[in-house]
Structure 1
Amino acid sequence: MTGTTDAAAALHAPCSGPSVWRGGDLANREEWILRLSSDQLAEIDSALREARRRDLTLLKLTAADFPLPALAGELERIAEALEHGRGFVLVKGLPVEQPGEPAASAVFWGLGQYLGRPVPQNADGHMLGHVRDTGRSLADPATRGYQTRAELPFHTDGADLLALLSLRTPRSGGRTSLVSSAAIHNAVLDLRPDLTERLYRTYFFDRREEHAPEEPPYAAAPLAARLPGGALSMRYNRCYLESAQRFSQVPRLEPADLELFDLIDAVAASHKLRLDIDLRAGDLLLLNTHTVMHARAEFEDRDQPELKRHLLRLWLAFPHRLRIGGARDGVTPRDVIRPRNAASQPETSPRRLPT
């Protein structure tokens, strides 16, 4: 009985450490920003030339093929901050306009190799994603957030790390916001301690048609889990939680569940907790989806197709560490047995690097 009591008490203990932060405290500070120097940009350009020389398809490009002898140390510090620190970093100044999309994709992929293992982002097995408006409605169960210009409330993605490289910005709107999941947990504990236990219950998330035929169309997971040492891992997407209710096999959400979701949404959107970021072309946003939620405001896009908002996206798994319940390992591709070995990942886009 004592063990059960201790476990319950641990769930109600407030989170602490660097993953607990308030956006209002960070808005006018820059310790979470890396502005690339001319030397670092020259090293990236040298790595791109070496990758071209090796004449590899993009998905076969490894860190060894994209050598960054000095910048590798900085990326190692970034990886440490992502997994064990604040949970997010903004890298500014990557060249994306003059070299063009293929070269920017190669640089993005090459940098990602130093941070984690790329995992599939959809059931088609795509490893490098394109975030742009397709005119689809988020109300359509087959639509994902990266395909629409509509507002995206605070949520987490399906991998350990999310990387977004901005190639082009919209005409207006589209602001990105971040919030500490641990700070949200503490706010729930402080404002509605009676709802805290529900954070650790199992809920059901709509998979939005991103599943193999033999798999269920929904996934079960708790919103929150405590890691060894007491750190918090959180998974949340209200849109997917509510659309999973379309399946008769999924238990019905209770009124208290909706009260919890309302509280999470309200706390996450508060000016005190959230950090707003206007991504510019060449900005690379990196975040740990276990410890940071993100949102995006609705945007108005440009008329010319070649000028429309466009971001590249990578989902990355932590290279050395499995979380409680396993790493968030992306989406299982249809008709593909996904290997666990990074060197044998299915190649869905065998495009060679630009010369």
Structure 2
Amino acid sequence: MTSMSDVLHHPCTGPAVWQGPSLAGSQEWILRLSPAQIDELEAALRAVRERGIPLLKVTARDFPLPTLARELERLADMLENGRGFVLVKRIPVERYSQAAASAVFWGLGQHLGVPVSQNAAGHMLGHARDTDRTMTAPSTRGYQTREPLPFHTDGSDVLGLLCLRAARSGARLSLVSSAAVYNAVLARRPDLVERLYRTQFLDRREEHGPGERPYHAVPLAAWYEGKLSLRYNRCYLESAQRFSDVPRLEPADVELFDLIDELAASPDLRLDIDFGAGDVLLVNNHAVLHSRTAYEDFADPALKRHVLRLWLALRQGRVLPPDFWGDLHSTGGGSGRGGIAPRDVIAPSDLVDIGGSRRQE
């Protein structure tokens, strides 16, 4: 397909269009780390520690992976030009302190892309865990709760997750091909497809800077340079309605959102992921929607679910329309490829908390 007219009338094709059941028994999207590859990770970790490099200053050159680096290049290409997701099994996180596991994850991320800020505090290495907050508070983000997270995308090229500890129960992760959902919308309700390309309004959840709008005005879908990119977060679309200057959602918008939710959660399309301690999940947000079920946690704080999170800009990522991320100045990593712009200026002495690692301005 070469034009907007094509994508409005014909289904997408290619490796990014997949159905979960057809992949459930496959190993093609899984990389199982060999003992030699784990040895490389640990050797790189020792090199960083011996040189005393602060976490956020570690680059791919500082974290040498003689053979694994080539495999990570292949994974980056798979994320952008293949199915759009990869599961890496399994980093032996039980051997490491939280600081060591964070350094390993950060080092891997440096070989895949450029980290961008995940919130207005400038955190470059995030922590998904329950904070007893709920989504009823306008400043709460889903990763801070135990609540179910319906299918959605995050604000970067790639989402990376490293599981340090799994929940007592629940927290099942699922993925679905954005292009497969798009094709299903086209097949069932072709009258709604064009609406994906209209301007919609996404709540910024109190993470906008002074003088900025508290929401982004963006299309949900973009067809650009031969690739479909889809963004979707119904919670943010609906919570943006609290602003008086945001146009009201039309009945057809709600029909579209209902259909996307139904299709994404369908067992005919979705893929459920076995995501345990030491696993790394990498997801291209332009090509794949992800979800998480609610979970029950352990009472002991030392056993509670804890997942490290990276938002990455791919070095060889797709070309995106100039207005794709909303306000052009609202980018968190200097790459112009997503992220949330930090509101403050961080001094080097502040970069000491692995629990909320922040960028240096």
Q: If the length of structure 1 is used for normalisation, what is the TM-score?
A: 0.92
1:349 paired to 2:358: no
Cα deviation, residue 278, structure 1:
2.6
The equivalent residue for 1:293 is 289
Q: CA deviation at 1:289?
A: 0.2
Asked if 1:152 is matched to 2:152, the reply is: no
State the alpha-carbon separation in 2 of the partners of residues 288 and 346 from structure 1. Answer: 31
State the match for 1:333 in structure 2: 342
Query: 1:242 is matched with which residue?
Result: 238
Q: How many residues of Structure 1 are paired with residues of Structure 2 in the alignment?
A: 340
Deviations 1:301-348 (A, max 9, x none): 0000010000000001122444223554200100349xxxxxxx9896
Query: Quick one: which of 275, 280, 294 aligns to 2:276?
Result: 280
DSSP 3-state at the match of 1:16: coil
Q: Which residue of 1 aligns with 2:34?
A: 37
- Mapped to 2, the partners of 1:172 and 1:249 lie a distance apart of 42
Is 1:59–1:347's contact at 8 Å kept on the other side of the alignment? no
* Shift in alpha-carbon separation, 1:8–1:109, aligned structure 2, 3 A: same
Structure 1 346/183 Cα, relative in aligned 2: closer, same or farther at 3 Å? farther
Please give the per-residue CA displacement for 1:27-75, whole angstroms capped at 9, x wherever unaligned: 1111000000011011111111111111110000000000001001100
Residue 323 to residue 202, structure 1, CA distance change in 2 (3 Å): same
- 1:172 partner amino acid: S
1:54 aligned residue: 51
Amino acid across the alignment from 2:302: E
* Matching residue's letter, 1:287: V
How many angstroms apart in 2 are the aligned matches of 1:175 and 1:243?
25
Query: Does the 8 Å CA contact 2:116/2:312 hold for their aligned counterparts?
Result: yes
* Corresponding residue of 1:169: 166
Counterparts of 2:316 and 2:99, CA distance in 1: 30
Counterpart contact for 2:119–2:341, Cα < 8 Å: yes
Structure 1 residue 140: Cα displacement: 1.4
Give 1:194-205 correspondences, 5 Å limit.
194-205=191-202
Cα offset, 1:100, TM superposition: 1.7
Choose the corresponding residue for 1:181, options 164, 178, 200: 178
2:261 to 265, 273, 280: 265
Structure 1 vs Structure 2: percent identity of aligned residues? 64
Report the counterpart of residue 330 of structure 2 in structure 1: none
Supply the distance in 1 between the matched residues of 2:212 and 2:78 (Cα, whole angstroms).
35
Conserved? CA contact 2:76–2:314, under 8 Å: no
Q: TM-score, normalised by structure 2?
A: 0.91
Residue 226, structure 1, aligned to residue 223, structure 2: yes
CA contact (8 A) 1:12 1:197 kept: no
Q: Please, which runs of 5 or more residues in structure 2 have no aligned partner? A: 325-335, 355-361
In the alignment, residue 314 of structure 1 is paired with which amino acid? Answer: L
For residue 293 of structure 1, what is the amino acid of its counterpart?
A: L
Query: Is structure 2 residue 204 aligned with structure 1 residue 207?
Result: yes
Amino acid across the alignment from 2:313: A
Q: Measure, in 1, the Cα distance between the counterparts of 2:4 and 2:118.
A: 35
Q: Deviations over 1:171-223 (max 9, x none)?
A: 10000000000001000000000101001111000000011111110001111
C-alpha RMSD of the superposition = 1.8
What secondary structure sits across from 2:61 in the alignment? helix
**3-state SS of 2:83 partner:** coil
Note the residue ranges of structure 1 that are not aligned, 5 or more in a row: 1-5, 338-344
SS of the equivalent of 1:97 reads helix
Which one of the candidate residues 15, 20, 32 is aligned to 1:18? 15
